[in-house]
Structure 1
Protein backbone atom coordinates (compact mmCIF):
# COMPACT_ATOMS: atom_id res chain seq x y z
CA UNK A 1 0.00 0.00 0.00
CA UNK A 2 1.55 3.29 -1.14
CA UNK A 3 1.98 6.05 1.40
CA UNK A 4 1.01 9.64 0.68
CA UNK A 5 3.94 12.03 0.88
CA UNK A 6 3.78 14.55 3.78
CA UNK A 7 4.28 17.40 1.32
CA UNK A 8 1.11 16.44 -0.55
CA UNK A 9 -0.85 16.28 2.70
CA UNK A 10 0.39 19.73 3.73
CA UNK A 11 -0.41 21.08 0.27
CA UNK A 12 -3.94 19.66 0.47
CA UNK A 13 -4.47 21.19 3.92
CA UNK A 14 -3.19 24.54 2.71
CA UNK A 15 -5.47 24.40 -0.35
CA UNK A 16 -8.48 23.72 1.89
CA UNK A 17 -7.55 26.63 4.18
CA UNK A 18 -7.23 29.02 1.24
CA UNK A 19 -10.53 27.80 -0.24
CA UNK A 20 -12.37 28.30 3.05
CA UNK A 21 -10.73 31.71 3.51
CA UNK A 22 -12.01 32.83 0.11
CA UNK A 23 -15.45 31.21 0.14
CA UNK A 24 -16.43 31.76 3.80
CA UNK A 25 -17.23 35.51 3.44
CA UNK A 26 -19.41 34.80 0.41
CA UNK A 27 -21.32 32.10 2.30
CA UNK A 28 -21.81 34.36 5.33
CA UNK A 29 -23.09 37.26 3.20
CA UNK A 30 -25.44 34.94 1.31
CA UNK A 31 -26.87 33.58 4.57
CA UNK A 32 -27.32 37.10 5.97
CA UNK A 33 -29.21 38.12 2.82
CA UNK A 34 -32.03 35.76 3.87
CA UNK A 35 -32.31 37.14 7.41
CA UNK A 36 -35.62 38.31 8.82
CA UNK A 37 -33.87 40.89 11.01
CA UNK A 38 -33.62 44.53 10.07
CA UNK A 39 -29.85 44.63 10.46
CA UNK A 40 -26.79 42.47 9.93
CA UNK A 41 -27.14 39.56 12.34
CA UNK A 42 -25.30 36.25 12.05
CA UNK A 43 -26.63 33.69 12.44
CA UNK A 44 -30.03 35.06 11.33
CA UNK A 45 -32.84 34.87 13.92
CA UNK A 46 -35.24 33.92 11.10
CA UNK A 47 -35.51 33.53 7.35
CA UNK A 48 -37.10 35.86 4.84
CA UNK A 49 -36.91 36.97 1.19
CA UNK A 50 -37.80 40.56 2.10
CA UNK A 51 -34.38 41.97 1.22
CA UNK A 52 -34.48 40.41 -2.23
CA UNK A 53 -37.97 41.87 -2.69
CA UNK A 54 -36.64 45.24 -1.58
CA UNK A 55 -33.75 44.91 -4.03
CA UNK A 56 -36.01 44.34 -7.05
CA UNK A 57 -38.70 46.80 -5.92
CA UNK A 58 -36.24 49.60 -5.17
CA UNK A 59 -35.65 51.52 -8.41
CA UNK A 60 -32.09 52.52 -7.47
CA UNK A 61 -30.93 48.98 -6.79
CA UNK A 62 -32.78 47.38 -9.71
CA UNK A 63 -31.71 49.98 -12.27
CA UNK A 64 -28.11 49.79 -11.10
CA UNK A 65 -28.23 46.00 -11.51
CA UNK A 66 -29.66 46.28 -15.02
CA UNK A 67 -27.09 48.93 -15.95
CA UNK A 68 -24.28 46.67 -14.78
CA UNK A 69 -25.63 43.72 -16.78
CA UNK A 70 -26.13 45.83 -19.89
CA UNK A 71 -22.70 47.43 -19.66
CA UNK A 72 -20.94 44.12 -18.90
CA UNK A 73 -22.59 42.36 -21.87
CA UNK A 74 -21.59 45.11 -24.29
CA UNK A 75 -18.08 45.27 -22.86
CA UNK A 76 -17.72 41.50 -23.10
CA UNK A 77 -18.58 41.48 -26.82
CA UNK A 78 -16.46 44.52 -27.73
CA UNK A 79 -13.45 43.55 -25.63
CA UNK A 80 -13.52 39.92 -26.81
CA UNK A 81 -13.56 40.93 -30.48
CA UNK A 82 -10.89 43.61 -30.10
CA UNK A 83 -8.76 41.46 -27.79
CA UNK A 84 -8.88 38.44 -30.11
CA UNK A 85 -7.96 40.52 -33.16
CA UNK A 86 -5.16 42.23 -31.21
CA UNK A 87 -3.78 38.91 -29.94
CA UNK A 88 -3.79 37.45 -33.46
CA UNK A 89 -2.07 40.53 -34.86
CA UNK A 90 0.59 40.52 -32.16
CA UNK A 91 1.16 36.78 -32.47
CA UNK A 92 1.67 36.95 -36.24
CA UNK A 93 3.60 40.21 -36.33
CA UNK A 94 6.91 40.00 -38.18
CA UNK A 95 8.43 42.71 -35.99
CA UNK A 96 8.85 41.39 -32.45
CA UNK A 97 9.93 44.79 -31.14
CA UNK A 98 6.84 46.48 -32.54
CA UNK A 99 4.61 43.72 -31.19
CA UNK A 100 6.22 43.98 -27.75
CA UNK A 101 5.72 47.75 -27.74
CA UNK A 102 2.07 47.53 -28.72
CA UNK A 103 1.46 44.77 -26.17
CA UNK A 104 3.02 46.93 -23.45
CA UNK A 105 0.58 49.73 -24.29
CA UNK A 106 -2.38 47.33 -24.24
CA UNK A 107 -1.32 45.91 -20.87
CA UNK A 108 -0.72 49.36 -19.37
CA UNK A 109 -4.13 49.49 -17.55
CA UNK A 110 -3.03 46.53 -15.40
CA UNK A 111 -0.21 48.56 -13.81
CA UNK A 112 -1.78 52.04 -13.69
CA UNK A 113 -3.57 52.65 -10.35
CA UNK A 114 -7.34 52.58 -10.77
CA UNK A 115 -7.70 55.97 -9.04
CA UNK A 116 -5.32 57.58 -11.53
CA UNK A 117 -7.15 55.95 -14.44
CA UNK A 118 -10.50 57.07 -13.02
CA UNK A 119 -9.41 60.70 -12.68
CA UNK A 120 -7.98 60.74 -16.19
CA UNK A 121 -11.04 59.16 -17.77
CA UNK A 122 -13.37 61.45 -15.83
CA UNK A 123 -11.56 64.56 -17.09
CA UNK A 124 -11.49 63.32 -20.67
CA UNK A 125 -15.07 62.01 -20.73
CA UNK A 126 -16.32 65.25 -19.17
CA UNK A 127 -14.95 67.14 -22.16
CA UNK A 128 -16.52 64.61 -24.52
CA UNK A 129 -19.82 64.87 -22.60
CA UNK A 130 -20.10 61.11 -22.15
CA UNK A 131 -19.39 60.97 -18.41
CA UNK A 132 -22.28 59.28 -16.61
CA UNK A 133 -23.54 57.58 -19.78
CA UNK A 134 -23.59 53.95 -20.92
CA UNK A 135 -21.10 54.82 -23.66
CA UNK A 136 -18.71 56.26 -21.08
CA UNK A 137 -18.91 53.16 -18.90
CA UNK A 138 -18.41 50.88 -21.91
CA UNK A 139 -15.35 52.74 -23.21
CA UNK A 140 -13.75 52.87 -19.77
CA UNK A 141 -14.41 49.23 -18.97
CA UNK A 142 -13.19 48.03 -22.38
CA UNK A 143 -9.86 49.73 -21.76
CA UNK A 144 -9.61 48.11 -18.32
CA UNK A 145 -10.52 44.54 -19.31
CA UNK A 146 -8.90 44.38 -22.75
CA UNK A 147 -5.52 43.22 -21.33
CA UNK A 148 -7.13 40.12 -19.80
CA UNK A 149 -8.62 39.10 -23.15
CA UNK A 150 -5.33 39.64 -24.96
CA UNK A 151 -3.40 37.60 -22.38
CA UNK A 152 -5.94 34.75 -22.45
CA UNK A 153 -6.13 34.52 -26.25
CA UNK A 154 -2.35 34.88 -26.64
CA UNK A 155 -1.91 31.92 -24.30
CA UNK A 156 -4.20 29.78 -26.49
CA UNK A 157 -2.38 30.87 -29.64
CA UNK A 158 0.80 29.25 -28.36
CA UNK A 159 -0.75 25.83 -29.05
CA UNK A 160 -1.99 26.78 -32.53
CA UNK A 161 -0.51 24.70 -35.34
CA UNK A 162 -0.22 26.98 -38.37
CA UNK A 163 -0.04 23.96 -40.68
CA UNK A 164 -3.76 23.37 -40.04
CA UNK A 165 -4.56 26.84 -41.34
CA UNK A 166 -2.31 26.29 -44.32
CA UNK A 167 -4.06 22.99 -45.06
CA UNK A 168 -7.45 24.70 -44.99
CA UNK A 169 -6.18 27.45 -47.29
CA UNK A 170 -4.72 24.89 -49.70
CA UNK A 171 -8.17 23.30 -49.91
CA UNK A 172 -9.62 26.59 -51.12
CA UNK A 173 -10.98 27.98 -47.86
CA UNK A 174 -10.95 31.81 -47.74
CA UNK A 175 -9.28 33.52 -44.75
CA UNK A 176 -12.58 34.17 -42.95
CA UNK A 177 -13.66 30.55 -43.29
CA UNK A 178 -10.25 29.33 -42.17
CA UNK A 179 -10.44 31.52 -39.09
CA UNK A 180 -13.98 30.51 -38.16
CA UNK A 181 -13.62 26.76 -38.75
CA UNK A 182 -9.99 26.17 -37.81
CA UNK A 183 -8.33 28.96 -35.83
CA UNK A 184 -11.28 29.97 -33.67
CA UNK A 185 -12.14 26.38 -32.76
CA UNK A 186 -8.59 25.80 -31.53
CA UNK A 187 -8.31 29.01 -29.50
CA UNK A 188 -11.94 28.91 -28.31
CA UNK A 189 -11.04 28.07 -24.66
CA UNK A 190 -8.84 31.17 -24.49
CA UNK A 191 -11.49 33.32 -26.15
CA UNK A 192 -14.18 32.02 -23.77
CA UNK A 193 -11.96 32.64 -20.75
CA UNK A 194 -11.18 36.14 -21.99
CA UNK A 195 -14.88 36.84 -22.50
CA UNK A 196 -15.62 35.63 -18.97
CA UNK A 197 -12.88 37.83 -17.49
CA UNK A 198 -14.13 40.80 -19.52
CA UNK A 199 -17.69 40.37 -18.28
CA UNK A 200 -16.69 39.91 -14.66
CA UNK A 201 -14.16 42.74 -14.81
CA UNK A 202 -16.82 45.11 -16.08
CA UNK A 203 -19.62 43.82 -13.85
CA UNK A 204 -17.53 44.12 -10.66
CA UNK A 205 -15.54 47.27 -11.50
CA UNK A 206 -15.89 49.90 -8.77
CA UNK A 207 -13.14 52.52 -8.51
CA UNK A 208 -13.21 53.89 -12.06
CA UNK A 209 -17.02 53.60 -12.16
CA UNK A 210 -17.27 55.84 -9.09
CA UNK A 211 -15.70 58.69 -11.07
CA UNK A 212 -17.97 58.12 -14.08
CA UNK A 213 -21.28 57.56 -12.26
CA UNK A 214 -24.03 60.15 -12.17
CA UNK A 215 -27.31 60.45 -10.24
CA UNK A 216 -29.09 59.11 -13.33
CA UNK A 217 -26.63 56.42 -14.43
CA UNK A 218 -24.77 54.19 -12.01
CA UNK A 219 -23.71 50.56 -11.66
CA UNK A 220 -24.35 47.94 -9.01
CA UNK A 221 -20.85 48.10 -7.41
CA UNK A 222 -21.13 51.90 -7.13
CA UNK A 223 -24.61 51.59 -5.63
CA UNK A 224 -23.30 49.05 -3.14
CA UNK A 225 -20.38 51.30 -2.24
CA UNK A 226 -22.72 54.25 -1.68
CA UNK A 227 -25.13 52.13 0.33
CA UNK A 228 -22.48 51.15 2.87
CA UNK A 229 -22.28 54.71 4.19
CA UNK A 230 -25.96 55.57 3.79
CA UNK A 231 -28.02 52.48 4.66
CA UNK A 232 -27.79 49.77 7.29
CA UNK A 233 -30.29 47.16 6.09
CA UNK A 234 -29.28 43.80 4.56
CA UNK A 235 -30.36 44.81 1.04
CA UNK A 236 -26.68 45.19 0.25
CA UNK A 237 -26.20 41.56 1.33
CA UNK A 238 -28.85 40.51 -1.19
CA UNK A 239 -27.10 42.57 -3.87
CA UNK A 240 -23.77 40.94 -2.99
CA UNK A 241 -25.31 37.47 -3.12
CA UNK A 242 -26.79 38.19 -6.56
CA UNK A 243 -23.47 39.52 -7.86
CA UNK A 244 -21.66 36.47 -6.50
CA UNK A 245 -24.30 34.22 -8.06
CA UNK A 246 -23.75 35.78 -11.49
CA UNK A 247 -19.99 35.32 -11.11
CA UNK A 248 -20.25 31.68 -10.02
CA UNK A 249 -22.79 30.85 -12.76
CA UNK A 250 -20.53 32.23 -15.50
CA UNK A 251 -17.50 30.47 -14.05
CA UNK A 252 -19.33 27.14 -13.98
CA UNK A 253 -20.53 27.70 -17.55
CA UNK A 254 -16.96 28.17 -18.78
CA UNK A 255 -15.80 25.12 -16.82
CA UNK A 256 -18.63 23.07 -18.37
CA UNK A 257 -17.59 24.22 -21.86
CA UNK A 258 -13.99 23.25 -21.20
CA UNK A 259 -14.97 19.82 -19.86
CA UNK A 260 -17.27 19.16 -22.82
CA UNK A 261 -14.57 20.22 -25.24
CA UNK A 262 -11.99 18.00 -23.53
CA UNK A 263 -14.32 14.99 -23.78
CA UNK A 264 -14.92 15.62 -27.48
CA UNK A 265 -11.18 15.89 -28.13
CA UNK A 266 -10.59 12.67 -26.18
CA UNK A 267 -13.13 10.84 -28.33
Structure 2
Protein backbone atom coordinates (compact mmCIF):
# COMPACT_ATOMS: atom_id res chain seq x y z
CA UNK A 1 0.00 0.00 0.00
CA UNK A 2 1.63 3.24 -1.15
CA UNK A 3 1.75 6.54 0.74
CA UNK A 4 -0.77 8.28 -1.54
CA UNK A 5 -3.40 5.59 -0.86
CA UNK A 6 -2.78 5.82 2.90
CA UNK A 7 -3.18 9.61 2.84
CA UNK A 8 -6.37 9.21 0.80
CA UNK A 9 -7.94 6.83 3.34
CA UNK A 10 -6.80 8.99 6.25
CA UNK A 11 -8.56 11.98 4.68
CA UNK A 12 -11.71 9.90 4.16
CA UNK A 13 -11.56 8.77 7.78
CA UNK A 14 -11.05 12.32 9.02
CA UNK A 15 -13.99 13.56 6.91
CA UNK A 16 -16.20 10.73 8.24
CA UNK A 17 -15.32 11.57 11.86
CA UNK A 18 -15.97 15.26 11.28
CA UNK A 19 -19.35 14.60 9.66
CA UNK A 20 -20.27 12.20 12.46
CA UNK A 21 -19.40 14.85 15.05
CA UNK A 22 -21.70 17.32 13.28
CA UNK A 23 -24.56 15.06 12.21
CA UNK A 24 -25.00 12.52 15.05
CA UNK A 25 -26.20 15.11 17.62
CA UNK A 26 -28.84 16.20 15.10
CA UNK A 27 -30.11 12.63 14.73
CA UNK A 28 -30.91 12.46 18.46
CA UNK A 29 -33.69 14.95 17.78
CA UNK A 30 -35.52 12.36 15.64
CA UNK A 31 -36.46 9.89 18.44
CA UNK A 32 -37.13 12.83 20.78
CA UNK A 33 -39.71 14.17 18.30
CA UNK A 34 -41.46 10.77 18.33
CA UNK A 35 -41.82 10.58 22.10
CA UNK A 36 -45.15 9.75 23.71
CA UNK A 37 -44.21 11.82 26.75
CA UNK A 38 -45.28 15.39 27.41
CA UNK A 39 -41.69 16.55 27.79
CA UNK A 40 -38.40 16.11 25.95
CA UNK A 41 -36.53 13.05 27.18
CA UNK A 42 -33.89 10.71 25.82
CA UNK A 43 -34.21 7.78 25.71
CA UNK A 44 -37.93 8.13 25.08
CA UNK A 45 -40.44 6.13 27.17
CA UNK A 46 -42.48 5.35 24.04
CA UNK A 47 -43.08 6.42 20.47
CA UNK A 48 -45.95 8.38 18.97
CA UNK A 49 -46.72 10.80 16.13
CA UNK A 50 -48.83 12.99 18.40
CA UNK A 51 -46.39 15.92 18.29
CA UNK A 52 -46.36 15.99 14.49
CA UNK A 53 -50.15 16.09 14.63
CA UNK A 54 -49.87 18.91 17.18
CA UNK A 55 -48.09 21.04 14.58
CA UNK A 56 -51.30 21.14 12.52
CA UNK A 57 -53.72 21.36 15.42
CA UNK A 58 -52.02 24.36 17.01
CA UNK A 59 -52.60 27.11 14.41
CA UNK A 60 -49.60 29.10 15.61
CA UNK A 61 -47.24 26.69 13.84
CA UNK A 62 -48.89 26.78 10.35
CA UNK A 63 -49.20 30.55 10.66
CA UNK A 64 -45.50 30.87 11.54
CA UNK A 65 -44.57 28.56 8.64
CA UNK A 66 -46.62 30.68 6.24
CA UNK A 67 -44.92 33.86 7.49
CA UNK A 68 -41.49 32.29 7.05
CA UNK A 69 -42.27 31.12 3.52
CA UNK A 70 -43.66 34.51 2.44
CA UNK A 71 -40.68 36.35 3.90
CA UNK A 72 -38.10 33.88 2.52
CA UNK A 73 -39.59 33.82 -1.00
CA UNK A 74 -39.88 37.62 -1.08
CA UNK A 75 -36.29 37.93 0.12
CA UNK A 76 -35.11 35.51 -2.55
CA UNK A 77 -36.93 37.42 -5.30
CA UNK A 78 -35.55 40.80 -4.18
CA UNK A 79 -32.06 39.32 -3.83
CA UNK A 80 -32.21 38.14 -7.45
CA UNK A 81 -33.53 41.48 -8.72
CA UNK A 82 -30.82 43.43 -6.88
CA UNK A 83 -27.93 40.97 -6.83
CA UNK A 84 -27.78 39.90 -10.48
CA UNK A 85 -27.50 43.42 -12.02
CA UNK A 86 -25.05 44.43 -9.27
CA UNK A 87 -22.92 41.35 -9.98
CA UNK A 88 -22.83 42.07 -13.73
CA UNK A 89 -21.87 45.69 -13.09
CA UNK A 90 -19.12 44.79 -10.61
CA UNK A 91 -17.76 41.83 -12.63
CA UNK A 92 -17.68 43.53 -16.01
CA UNK A 93 -17.63 47.22 -15.16
CA UNK A 94 -14.57 49.39 -14.75
CA UNK A 95 -15.12 52.52 -12.68
CA UNK A 96 -13.60 54.34 -9.68
CA UNK A 97 -14.57 53.02 -6.26
CA UNK A 98 -15.48 49.57 -7.55
CA UNK A 99 -13.82 47.74 -4.65
CA UNK A 100 -15.33 50.15 -2.14
CA UNK A 101 -18.84 49.51 -3.48
CA UNK A 102 -18.26 45.76 -3.37
CA UNK A 103 -17.09 46.08 0.24
CA UNK A 104 -20.16 48.10 1.23
CA UNK A 105 -22.51 45.55 -0.35
CA UNK A 106 -20.66 42.67 1.34
CA UNK A 107 -20.64 44.37 4.76
CA UNK A 108 -23.65 42.43 6.13
CA UNK A 109 -21.59 39.23 5.80
CA UNK A 110 -19.11 40.39 8.46
CA UNK A 111 -21.29 42.59 10.68
CA UNK A 112 -22.66 40.64 13.70
CA UNK A 113 -26.31 39.85 13.13
CA UNK A 114 -27.21 41.27 16.55
CA UNK A 115 -25.98 44.68 15.41
CA UNK A 116 -28.00 44.31 12.21
CA UNK A 117 -31.07 43.47 14.30
CA UNK A 118 -30.64 46.46 16.64
CA UNK A 119 -30.03 48.84 13.71
CA UNK A 120 -33.04 47.48 11.81
CA UNK A 121 -35.27 47.79 14.86
CA UNK A 122 -34.18 51.41 15.47
CA UNK A 123 -34.75 52.33 11.82
CA UNK A 124 -38.10 50.62 11.29
CA UNK A 125 -39.42 51.70 14.71
CA UNK A 126 -39.23 55.32 13.54
CA UNK A 127 -41.28 54.34 10.47
CA UNK A 128 -43.82 52.36 12.48
CA UNK A 129 -43.02 49.13 10.61
CA UNK A 130 -41.97 46.93 13.53
CA UNK A 131 -44.22 43.88 13.46
CA UNK A 132 -44.69 44.19 9.69
CA UNK A 133 -43.39 41.56 7.24
CA UNK A 134 -41.95 44.31 5.03
CA UNK A 135 -39.36 45.29 7.63
CA UNK A 136 -38.13 41.70 7.97
CA UNK A 137 -38.07 41.19 4.18
CA UNK A 138 -35.97 44.31 3.59
CA UNK A 139 -33.52 43.43 6.37
CA UNK A 140 -33.18 39.83 5.19
CA UNK A 141 -32.65 41.09 1.65
CA UNK A 142 -29.74 43.25 2.84
CA UNK A 143 -28.25 40.11 4.41
CA UNK A 144 -28.86 37.86 1.39
CA UNK A 145 -27.81 40.15 -1.48
CA UNK A 146 -24.05 39.72 -0.75
CA UNK A 147 -24.44 35.94 -1.10
CA UNK A 148 -26.28 36.29 -4.40
CA UNK A 149 -23.66 38.78 -5.56
CA UNK A 150 -20.80 36.41 -4.72
CA UNK A 151 -22.26 33.35 -6.48
CA UNK A 152 -23.20 35.28 -9.62
CA UNK A 153 -19.80 37.02 -9.81
CA UNK A 154 -18.17 33.57 -9.57
CA UNK A 155 -20.27 32.40 -12.54
CA UNK A 156 -19.44 35.53 -14.54
CA UNK A 157 -15.67 35.03 -14.14
CA UNK A 158 -15.82 32.06 -16.55
CA UNK A 159 -18.33 33.69 -18.89
CA UNK A 160 -17.15 34.25 -22.48
CA UNK A 161 -18.12 37.86 -23.22
CA UNK A 162 -17.64 37.35 -26.96
CA UNK A 163 -21.05 35.67 -26.87
CA UNK A 164 -22.59 38.98 -25.81
CA UNK A 165 -20.83 40.85 -28.61
CA UNK A 166 -21.89 38.19 -31.11
CA UNK A 167 -25.53 38.46 -30.04
CA UNK A 168 -25.38 42.26 -30.26
CA UNK A 169 -23.88 42.11 -33.75
CA UNK A 170 -26.82 39.96 -34.83
CA UNK A 171 -29.27 42.65 -33.73
CA UNK A 172 -30.30 41.38 -30.27
CA UNK A 173 -31.29 44.07 -27.78
CA UNK A 174 -30.06 44.38 -24.20
CA UNK A 175 -32.95 42.51 -22.58
CA UNK A 176 -32.90 39.77 -25.21
CA UNK A 177 -29.15 39.28 -24.70
CA UNK A 178 -29.64 39.05 -20.95
CA UNK A 179 -32.49 36.51 -21.02
CA UNK A 180 -31.30 34.46 -24.01
CA UNK A 181 -27.50 34.50 -23.59
CA UNK A 182 -26.32 35.64 -20.14
CA UNK A 183 -28.96 34.24 -17.79
CA UNK A 184 -28.97 30.63 -19.13
CA UNK A 185 -25.18 30.41 -18.79
CA UNK A 186 -25.01 31.84 -15.26
CA UNK A 187 -28.16 29.99 -14.12
CA UNK A 188 -26.29 27.54 -11.80
CA UNK A 189 -24.79 30.48 -9.89
CA UNK A 190 -28.12 32.29 -9.77
CA UNK A 191 -30.01 29.23 -8.52
CA UNK A 192 -27.32 28.47 -5.92
CA UNK A 193 -27.43 32.06 -4.68
CA UNK A 194 -31.23 31.99 -4.60
CA UNK A 195 -31.28 28.79 -2.54
CA UNK A 196 -28.73 30.13 -0.06
CA UNK A 197 -30.65 33.42 0.17
CA UNK A 198 -33.83 31.45 0.89
CA UNK A 199 -32.08 29.44 3.62
CA UNK A 200 -30.61 32.60 5.19
CA UNK A 201 -34.04 34.19 5.42
CA UNK A 202 -35.97 31.06 6.38
CA UNK A 203 -33.61 30.08 9.22
CA UNK A 204 -32.87 33.58 10.55
CA UNK A 205 -34.03 34.22 14.13
CA UNK A 206 -32.16 37.25 15.54
CA UNK A 207 -33.60 39.91 13.23
CA UNK A 208 -37.01 38.20 13.41
CA UNK A 209 -36.84 38.44 17.21
CA UNK A 210 -36.44 42.21 16.96
CA UNK A 211 -38.98 42.86 14.20
CA UNK A 212 -41.73 40.20 14.49
CA UNK A 213 -44.51 40.27 17.06
CA UNK A 214 -47.81 38.44 17.58
CA UNK A 215 -49.20 36.78 14.46
CA UNK A 216 -46.22 37.98 12.38
CA UNK A 217 -43.80 35.60 14.13
CA UNK A 218 -41.67 33.44 11.87
CA UNK A 219 -41.03 29.72 12.39
CA UNK A 220 -37.52 30.14 13.89
CA UNK A 221 -38.94 32.85 16.16
CA UNK A 222 -41.65 30.43 17.32
CA UNK A 223 -39.03 27.75 18.04
CA UNK A 224 -36.91 30.21 20.00
CA UNK A 225 -39.93 31.35 22.01
CA UNK A 226 -40.93 27.73 22.68
CA UNK A 227 -37.46 26.81 23.96
CA UNK A 228 -37.43 29.84 26.24
CA UNK A 229 -41.01 29.62 27.54
CA UNK A 230 -42.07 25.95 27.52
CA UNK A 231 -39.94 23.14 26.13
CA UNK A 232 -42.39 21.01 24.17
CA UNK A 233 -41.63 17.92 22.01
CA UNK A 234 -43.41 19.79 19.21
CA UNK A 235 -40.22 21.86 18.92
CA UNK A 236 -38.25 18.67 18.22
CA UNK A 237 -40.79 17.73 15.53
CA UNK A 238 -40.35 21.13 13.86
CA UNK A 239 -36.57 20.75 14.12
CA UNK A 240 -36.68 17.39 12.32
CA UNK A 241 -38.75 18.84 9.48
CA UNK A 242 -36.37 21.79 9.16
CA UNK A 243 -33.35 19.48 9.08
CA UNK A 244 -34.92 17.43 6.27
CA UNK A 245 -35.83 20.59 4.36
CA UNK A 246 -32.31 22.03 4.70
CA UNK A 247 -30.76 18.70 3.65
CA UNK A 248 -32.87 18.67 0.47
CA UNK A 249 -31.81 22.23 -0.38
CA UNK A 250 -28.12 21.47 0.27
CA UNK A 251 -28.35 18.35 -1.90
CA UNK A 252 -29.84 20.51 -4.66
CA UNK A 253 -26.94 22.95 -4.36
CA UNK A 254 -24.45 20.07 -4.62
CA UNK A 255 -26.20 18.74 -7.73
CA UNK A 256 -26.12 22.19 -9.33
CA UNK A 257 -22.40 22.55 -8.63
CA UNK A 258 -21.65 19.16 -10.18
CA UNK A 259 -23.82 20.02 -13.18
CA UNK A 260 -22.06 23.37 -13.58
CA UNK A 261 -18.63 21.69 -13.57
CA UNK A 262 -19.75 19.18 -16.19
CA UNK A 263 -21.07 21.98 -18.40
CA UNK A 264 -17.73 23.83 -18.15
CA UNK A 265 -15.80 20.66 -18.99
CA UNK A 266 -18.00 20.06 -22.06
CA UNK A 267 -17.53 23.66 -23.17
CA UNK A 268 -13.75 23.33 -22.86
CA UNK A 269 -13.69 19.98 -24.71
Please indicate the TM-score interval, normalised by the length of the shorter structure: over 0.9
Give the stretch that moved more between structures: 220-229 or 29-38: 29-38
User: Superposition pairs for residues 133-212 of structure 1, below 5 Å?
Assistant: 133-212=132-211
CA distance in 2, matches of 1:101, 1:40: 50
CA distance in 2, matches of 1:6, 1:263: 29
CA distance in 1, matches of 2:196, 2:109: 13
Is 1:120 the counterpart of 2:114 in the alignment? Answer: no
SS in 1 for 2:214: coil
Please list the CA deviations of residues 177-208 of structure 1 after superposition, one character each: whole Å capped at 9, or x if unmatched: 11112111111111111001100000001111
Please list the CA deviations of residues 73-105 of structure 1 after superposition, one character each: whole Å capped at 9, or x if unmatched: 11111112211111011112221x421111111
Structure 2 counterpart of 1:30: 30
SS in 2 for 1:5: helix
Asked if the contact 1:80–1:198 (Cα under 8 Å) also holds between the matched residues in 2, the reply is no
Shift of 1:210: 0.8
Shift of 1:263: 5.9
Shift of 1:244: 1.6
Structure 2 counterpart of 1:92: 92
SS in 2 for 1:94: coil
Give the stretch that moved more between structures: 239-248 or 101-110: 239-248
Shift of 1:51: 0.7
CA distance in 2, matches of 1:128, 1:253: 39
Is 1:60 the counterpart of 2:60 in the alignment? Answer: yes
Asked if the contact 2:155–2:186 (Cα under 8 Å) also holds between the matched residues in 1, the reply is yes
Shift of 1:216: 2.7
Residue ranges of structure 1 left out of the alignment (5+ in a row): none
Structure 1 counterpart of 2:102: 103
SS in 2 for 1:178: helix
Please list the CA deviations of residues 57-80 of structure 1 after superposition, one character each: whole Å capped at 9, or x if unmatched: 112222111111111011111112
Aligned length: 266
CA distance in 2, matches of 1:194, 1:161: 21
Relative to structure 1, the CA distance from residue 197 to residue 154 in structure 2 (aligned partners, 3 Å threshold; closer, same or farther) is same
Q: With structure 1 as the length reference, what TM-score do the two structures score?
A: 0.93
CA distance in 2, matches of 1:26, 1:177: 47
CA distance in 2, matches of 1:81, 1:30: 38
Asked if the contact 2:63–2:215 (Cα under 8 Å) also holds between the matched residues in 1, the reply is no
Q: With structure 2 as the length reference, what TM-score do the two structures score?
A: 0.92
CA distance in 1, matches of 2:238, 2:93: 45
